[in-house]
Amino acid sequence: MVKKGNSKASVGKTAKKSKDIKRAKTTKNVKKERASAVTPQSIDSKLKDLPLPPSIIEELKECLNKVKPTGAQLEHIIQMSVEAYEKAKVEPCEAVGIVAAQSIGEPGTQMTMRTFHYAGVAEINVTLGLPRLIEIVDARKIPSTPIMRIKLEPEYARDRDKARALGWGIEQSNIIDIGSMSVDMVKMQIVIELDEKMTSRRNITAEEIAQKINAETKAEVQAEGLKLTINPVQHSYRGLLRLVDDIKGITLKGVKGIRRIIIRKENEEYVLYTEGSALKKVLQFVGVDGSRTKTNNINEIAEVLGIEAARNAIISEAMDTLREQGLEVDIRHIMLVADMVTAGGSVKQIGRHGVAGEKASVLSRAAFEVTVNHLLDASIKGQVDELSGVTENVIVGQPIQLGTGDVELMYKAKE
């Protein structure tokens, strides 16, 4: 006969043993699960509620789906990513503007003053290095070398003939591009001999050219085959020579401002590079992929696509310029500059006519440029400086309101 106490003890031991077996099985299953590669669904569920920006989560997702980590590796990667993101955050009261200025300005001293020539085409060149960076931050209306990179729709991108025909349709065509012009002083006429090959290539006829010249100059134009004879309205030598200049300036076909186009093959598709920029007109051509077409004229992007597109263009252009010189600058510094330049809804320069000139502080504006003018205007208007920024506090010799200078400690004495 078994004692009651002993039976309870044996039942307890059996229950404990079964729990241990279950736990061991669970641990074994977890280890097995961790050892095997996780599914894309489980990666999505793990990343869904992380305290990270959407762009980082998307990048993590893409990388994890490629490497296919185990469960343990996934947890470790997620933990390290969150820690790295927390470390990368800006500390409270940090002088981000000064850090950004230093981080862009110091590498800027190592940049070269040169232009880049496309291989085999000396006529098209692009301003790079320090001059290009200055153009970006000065918000120049027209860059010194405006260019466009026109990506094409699949149908045109893989067919060289179609890409070339589209390029000729976009490229600006003047009379000197498709023929020769001479002046007959005796008969007071201008004679144009058209090149048959060039007119067929540009897909334009002698009649169309005659109509265009007549519409622009009001002169009488007679077409005989590939020969055009133009009689000026004013029968004088001065009027005749002025008419020659006017005819040379007429854009017969294509987009005004696109002076030259070259075709290059990149990654199994043809891309058009232009000398000159006219984004709004180029996007209207059939065969142009508007979502991938770029220009280096930031003001034009702001006008056609809006201020957010201009902000992204500033970041992209500045980063490309620095990267081309072999300089690594954190993108957040460039993003801060782009935000300051475009915050008002238009592209402003970083200078006395833009960001620096619009500061509320009189001393800060005076410290930048034209000191006497700013102080004189402020004195006449009776302006008050609140001394809330960095520059003005340095000038008057008191702690700046950043870092430890922004913290005030209060001590309450014991009674």
Task: Report pLDDT digits (tens) over 356-402.
Answer: 777 888 888 888 878 898 899 999 999 888 888 888 888 999 888 88
**Would you list the domain boundaries of the chain?**
1-27, 36-89, 97-123+296-358, 173-249, 359-415
The pTM of this model reads: 0.73
Q: What is the CATH number of domain 173-249?
A: 3.30.1360
Q: 38: how many CB neighbours lie within 10 A of its CB?
A: 21
User: Residue 209 belongs to what H/E stretch?
Assistant: helix 206-217
SS3 state at 72? helix
CATH fit for domain 359-415, picks 1.10.150.390, 2.60.120.260, 2.70.150.10, 3.20.20.150: 1.10.150.390
**Does 173-249 match 359-415 in CATH topology?**
no
Q: Which two tokens stand for residue 91?
A: 């500390």
Q: Give Cα 37 distance to the centre of its chain.
A: 39
Least Cα distance to 163 among 291, 281, 271, 294 occurs for: 271
Separation CA 400–CA 269 (nearest Å): 55
pLDDT in tens, 141-196: 888 888 899 999 888 888 888 888 888 888 888 777 777 777 777 677 777 777 77
Which tokens sit at 335?
């993003």
Scanning the structure block, which residue is given the tokens 């009689």?
231
Backbone angles phi, psi at 46, to 5 degrees: -70, -35
Mind listing the pLDDT tens digit for each residue in 292-344? Answer: 999 999 999 999 999 999 999 999 999 998 888 888 899 999 999 999 999 98
